[in-house]
Structure 1
Amino acid sequence: MMKRFLFACCLLLSCKQVVKTVEETFHPVAEPVKKPVDTPSSSSTSWSSDTSFSITIKTEAITQHIEKRKDSSFSVTIETDAVLPSTIQRRIDSTLSVTTKPRSSSSLGESHLLKAEKALRSLPQYAGKEIFIYSSVHFYGDGSIRTMLQHPENPEYIDNYVYQNGVWSAPRPEQVSIKDRIASRLVSLDKIHFSTAAKVASTYNEKAAGIEGAKPLTSVYISIWDNRVRWYPGTINGSREKWSIEFDVDGGLRRFERE
């Protein structure tokens, strides 16, 4: 009797398995769809806060560099106009090795000045001609530059030029008197390097930082007399002291003494 009961149970189980196999054949069950996994080559890391500050670091462009240099450390430097909130800074530090530094507010940088000088030399009216600067060149912290040039055709004429947003303006006539000694206030652009203004600004601010009450400069300029160049400012004013500072034509510190 027991053998018959066991035989019946086995037969029943076998039938159920056959039915299940047939049902799966004609009515297959869809397998769950796996969610795609983001790869480092197309990922980005974003942070934001309620103070309308946000920052996104795209990693697609640097993935190959990381793969090639797995044996070395990798870091990212972020230049920002604002101080990062502490909560965001902690989240950045926990994700990447990041150095944050404030972006310079001044455009008295060497690369900016080199670009401006190159653009000046490329003015079509001076193609194939030597450019002579008249009287002065002013370099401002907002990136603008003002200067006067001797007219390319008439040496008795002087034109004003302004550099803004990466472009030199059209010439604007400067009124000069017959009493002005134009020839004595001219210097060839070949003898002046705009990038020297960055060197002058850096040295000036370094000295000013050690004088109580002195403020960093916001502009640098050249004055031309007797065909010689002199860089300004020539003084550093503190709350308790006044210092005289002088540079040579290449921006080297020539003199620095208390008055």
Structure 2
Amino acid sequence: MHPSALARCRPAVAAALALVAIGCSRPPPLLADAAALTQAQRALAALPEFAGRAPHVHAAALFHDDDIEIAIVDPGDARTLHTYRYRQGRWRREDAMGHSCAQWRDALGENNDDLALQRIDFATAARVRANWYERARGVPGALADPDYDRLSGVWFYTRDHRRSVGRGDDGAVDSDAPPGGGRGSDEPGSDQPDRVAPGPGERDDGERGQWSTGPISGQGGVGYQIEFGIDGSVRRFERLR
């Protein structure tokens, strides 16, 4: 190559290398970074407005690739909720709203929708995300369209609503509810559900909450229901009928 032509190419090569370097140094999505999620949880608990008092999460926490949204009970007024959003390493308090269930907290006991922040492990959201994508990779077409079929987020509910649905008024387990044990085929297209028996502490009343995502959609509109344990592991993976 002629020296003058080489000189003209150098800026373009340098620019290309710079773009590669930026791409390689880009941090992982917040939802995929367990350490960053743990740091976000610690930062929330350390906000000045809580002044050493344990924040209580109301109903649900929403985790996305670039932010976290969560409702917190006002520590000075249980009748008020505040929405907090975590983005780019900082928490910001947004809207305030009434806490209509505040008067029932004591009567409901552990069945109320408020849960101490310290009883939620934000880092588990990263494991839920990883397990969702692991199963989605085995479903034909599930990840073919990144605009519509990607995981939109991970939710943590402060109560496990599956337990409420699976029990009758007398507390007995509904015969139509999915059993907790046994394992079927986890191959896409199988009619047999993949069910894993609860792990240690899974049925302990001290373990509250439910991790959840949307279903996995594949080719031809075929969908798969996926459920998670409190530790983020897959507890059920089943083709929707």
Q: 2:73 aligns with which of 150, 154, 162?
A: 150
- 1:154 aligned counterpart, secondary structure: coil
Distance 1:167 1:102, change over 3 A: closer
Shift in Å, 1:157: 1.4
Q: Which residue of 2 aligns with 1:15?
A: none
Shift in Å, 1:154: 1.2
Q: Which residue of 2 aligns with 1:243?
A: 224
Mapped to 2, the partners of 1:224 and 1:180 lie a distance apart of 18
Check whether the contact 1:134–1:148 (CA below 8 A) recurs between aligned residues. Answer: yes
1:223 aligned to 2:124?
Answer: no
Cα deviation, 1:180-211, whole Å, max 9, x if unaligned, reads: 96661111112111110000000000100111
Structure 1 letter corresponding to 2:75: P
Shift in Å, 1:248: 1.2
Distance 1:121 1:79, change over 3 A: farther
Please list every run of 5 or more consecutive structure 2 residues that lacks an aligned counterpart in the other structure.
1-9, 143-148, 162-207
| Poorly superposed stretches of 4+, deviation over 3 Å | 101-105, 175-183, 225-228
Distance 1:122 1:200, change over 3 A: same
Distance 1:79 1:55, change over 3 A: closer
Check whether the contact 2:79–2:100 (CA below 8 A) recurs between aligned residues. Answer: no
Mapped to 1, the partners of 2:58 and 2:75 lie a distance apart of 12
Mapped to 2, the partners of 1:130 and 1:195 lie a distance apart of 19
Shift in Å, 1:127: 2.3
Cα deviation, 1:210-256, whole Å, max 9, x if unaligned, reads: 11121331321112337942212142111232111111112121111
Shift in Å, 1:54: 3.2
Cα deviation, 1:39-59, whole Å, max 9, x if unaligned, reads: xxxxxxxx8526942339xxx
Shift in Å, 1:179: 9.2
Greater Cα radius of gyration, structure 1 or 2: 1
How is 1:1-259 mapped onto 2 (pairs within 5 angstroms)?
Answer: 49=12, 52-55=15-18, 80-81=22-23, 103=26, 106-108=29-31, 109-141=33-65, 143-170=66-93, 172-177=95-100, 184-214=112-142, 215-225=149-159, 228-240=208-220, 241-259=222-240
Count of equivalent residues: 172
Structure 2 letter corresponding to 1:188: A
Higher relative contact order (CA 8 A, sep 6+): 2
Shift in Å, 1:150: 0.8
Structure 2 letter corresponding to 1:223: Y
In terms of fraction of residues, the more strand-rich structure is 1
- State the TM-score, normalizing by the size of structure 2: 0.62
- State the TM-score, normalizing by the size of structure 1: 0.58
